[in-house]
Amino acid sequence: MIAGLYFWSSVSRVLLFWTAFILTRPLGATVGDFLDKPKKLGGLALSRPLASAVIAAFIILCVFLLPQRAGRHPTASSAA
């Protein structure tokens, strides 16, 4: 929903950023809990440092593999 608002509306980008940031914080905590929870409780039983390393590696991979490009400034003219 937030991505849709970003691409197809003029809602403040700052508001959308903070909304996404706040909504994804519990997701990160849940993934971290899953990685270091004991197997008998449904987790993967990784140590905390290893779970943190797995999450960090995933983030770094996403930064390098997902294309990033500069956006156009809203006030820039198309002739420039």
SS (H, E, C) 13-28: HHHHHHHHHHHHHHHH
For the chain, helix, strand, coil in percent to 5 are 65, 0, 35
Note the pLDDT tens digit of each residue in 3-56: 999 999 999 999 999 999 998 899 889 999 999 999 999 999 999 999 999 999
Across the range 51-67, mean pLDDT stands at: 90
The per-residue pLDDT for 69 is 78
Q: Model-level pTM?
A: 0.62
Q: Where are the domains of the chain?
A: 24-65
Cα–Cα dist 44/50, whole Å: 11
In whole angstroms, give the CA distance from residue 71 to residue 60: 21
Task: Please give the pLDDT value at position 66.
Answer: 87
Above 90 in pLDDT, residue 67?
no
pLDDT at 65 over 60: yes
